[in-house]
């Protein structure tokens, strides 16, 4: 029979179950105008990934059919046109994906759900073998690592596709917001994965060193499925260096938050622990300074400016900036979620909201009252101040770790800096930060 392979966030030909096991395949992507404007950065990355996927499919004798409109209506239309016997789509936990899946079934299309968005599908491992989901990471990781993973799917050399289908045009590449964003696509993702495998053994030592910038930067390729998470995990599992093992554990957080989201779909708006979510301060001015990277705390401002410049932020900086907003300024985590979501190339509901709730203490952190001291964090993870000077040019002439506490500089130096002092709302805290 003929299968419609409905691509969503699995924009790759390697390890993609959509492309194997049918007589004929019609690869389809539907551009839903509703998704325009959600994030210019991610929209651009998506379009780059689609262009690359189309090329990779053409190299295998097929094509990527592009349609614009409602994904369910367009899929149904094409299914009728080619007399498809099934529609295959990757299983996903977002509310949008769940609705799409339900509506495809309502159309009486024979829907097959493929694995591939995570290493293990949500629910594949459960605490004590019961029906609940994991809320704490470490026991999840232990089961996850031990579980039987599926074998990865070999990329087919040729893909049989019925002839005579109008491929449809990819619109011209939309502009992003971040000038230094990395480009999308499976080809670029695989190139980076290969390069990363040469560096992975150092990961346990320096993944927290903000200036060294030695993490994989694979997150956006995983977000859009340009890379298969299973393939990335298998590569790490095959390497027994401590670096590869630490990387595998980090990658498991991604699966962890997907299974949290499956069990707790309102993760982006509702606190997981309701009691922890009270008494946030309303402070529009503080929030705006935080967004702009103008809080007067250099390590926080550096992170927030990296976010805008690159559509990405180092994990340590994400922790520091999110903790600063919620625990120091006392501002609600939800506007933080939204601001990150606007810029991040890797932005998705499970990881963004899951990590924000962890940091704000409303989620599944086992130490919800943890409060990062941004200055101590800076001294530890940006010991020479290199990361701050890279992103906060106003401070580029301040040498060494002194850059982390401009309020301690001699008055004569400080007055010459075009850099804000601590926020009004943060003054009391700032007294404490001085020492």
Contact set with ligand FAD (CB under 6 A): 207, 215-219, 222-223, 250-251, 253-254, 257, 315, 318-319, 322, 340, 344, 346-348, 351-352, 355-356, 359
Q: Tokens 């982006």 map to which residue?
A: 268
User: What distances in angstroms separate CA 378 from CA 66, 111, 186, 351, 403, one per listed residue?
Assistant: 47, 50, 35, 24, 10
Q: Which tokens go with 16?
A: 């993609």
Q: How many CB atoms lie within 10 A of CB 325?
A: 27
Q: How far is the CB of 356 from ligand FAD (least distance, A)?
A: 5
Q: Tokens 């799409």 map to which residue?
A: 100
Q: How many CB atoms lie within 10 A of CB 122?
A: 22
Based on CB atoms, which residue is closest to ligand FAD, 5 or 218?
218
Helix (H, G, I), strand (E, B) or coil at 57: helix
Based on CB atoms, which residue is closest to ligand FAD, 156 or 368?
368
Q: How far is the CB of 113 from ligand FAD (least distance, A)?
A: 22
Based on CB atoms, which residue is closest to ligand FAD, 203 or 405?
203
How large is the angle between the packed helices 374-381 and 315-323, nearest 10 degrees? Answer: 170
Q: How far is the CB of 340 from ligand FAD (least distance, A)?
A: 6
- Give which of 207, 208, 256 is closest to 364, Cα–Cα: 256
Based on CB atoms, which residue is closest to ligand FAD, 286 or 406?
286
Rounded-to-integer distance, Cα 74 and Cα 76, Å: 5
User: What distances in angstroms separate CA 329 from CA 283, 295, 305, 355, 382, one per listed residue?
Assistant: 8, 10, 18, 18, 22
Q: How far is the CB of 345 from ligand FAD (least distance, A)?
A: 9
Q: How far is the CB of 337 from ligand FAD (least distance, A)?
A: 8
Q: How far is the CB of 402 from ligand FAD (least distance, A)?
A: 27
Based on CB atoms, which residue is closest to ligand FAD, 29 or 253?
253
Rounded-to-integer distance, Cα 60 and Cα 62, Å: 6
Based on CB atoms, which residue is closest to ligand FAD, 319 or 398?
319
Q: Tokens 């001015």 map to which residue?
A: 285
Based on CB atoms, which residue is closest to ligand FAD, 84 or 222?
222
Which DSSP helix (H) or strand (E) runs through 143? helix 137-146
Q: How far is the CB of 383 from ligand FAD (least distance, A)?
A: 19
């Amino acid at each position: 029979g003929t299968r419609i392979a409905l691509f969503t966030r699995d924009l790759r030909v390697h390890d993609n179950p959509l492309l194997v096991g049918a007589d004929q395949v019609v690869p389809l992507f539907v551009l839903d105008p509703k998704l325009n404007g959600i994030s210019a950065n991610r929209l651009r990355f998506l379009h780059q990934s689609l262009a690359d996927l189309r090329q990779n499919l053409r190299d295998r004798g097929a094509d990527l059919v592009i349609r614009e409109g409602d994904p369910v209506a367009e899929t149904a239309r094409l299914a009728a046109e080619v007399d498809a016997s099934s529609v295959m789509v990757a299983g996903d936990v977002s509310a949008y994906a769940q609705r799409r899946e339900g509506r495809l079934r309502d159309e009486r299309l024979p829907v097959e759900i493929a694995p591939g968005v995570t290493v293990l599908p949500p629910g594949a491992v459960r605490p004590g073998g019961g029906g609940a989901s994991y809320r704490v990471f470490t026991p999840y990781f232990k089961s996850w690592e031990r579980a039987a993973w599926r074998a990865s799917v070999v990329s087919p050399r040729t893909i049989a596709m019925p002839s005579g289908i109008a491929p449809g045009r990819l619109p011209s590449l939309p502009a992003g917001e971040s000038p230094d964003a990395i480009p999308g696509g499976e080809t670029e993702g695989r190139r980076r994965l290969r390069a990363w495998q040469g560096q992975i053994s150092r990961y346990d030592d320096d993944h927290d060193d903000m200036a060294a910038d030695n993490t994989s930067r694979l997150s956006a390729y995983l977000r859009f499925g340009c890379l298969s998470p299973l393939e990335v995990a298998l590569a790490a599992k095959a390497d027994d260096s401590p670096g590869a093992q630490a990387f595998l554990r980090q990658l498991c957080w991604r699966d962890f938050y997907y299974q949290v989201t499956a069990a707790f779909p309102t993760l982006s708006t509702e606190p997981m622990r309701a009691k922890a979510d009270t008494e946030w301060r309303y402070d529009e001015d503080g929030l705006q300074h935080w967004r702009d990277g103008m809080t007067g705390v250099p390590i926080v401002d550096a992170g927030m400016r990296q976010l805008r410049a690159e559509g990405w932020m180092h994990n340590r900086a994400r922790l520091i900036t999110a903790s600063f907003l919620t625990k120091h300024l006392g501002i609600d985590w939800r506007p933080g979620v939204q601001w990150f979501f606007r810029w991040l190339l890797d932005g998705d509901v499970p990881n963004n909201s899951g990590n924000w709730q962890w940091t704000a203490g409303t989620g599944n952190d086992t130490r919800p009252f943890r409060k990062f001291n941004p200055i101590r964090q800076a001294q530890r993870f940006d010991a020479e101040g290199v990361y701050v000077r890279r992103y906060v040019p106003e401070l580029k002439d301040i040498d060494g770790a002194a850059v982390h506490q401009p309020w301690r500089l001699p008055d004569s130096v400080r007055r010459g800096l075009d850099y804000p002092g601590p926020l009004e709302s943060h003054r009391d805290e700032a007294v404490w930060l001085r020492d």
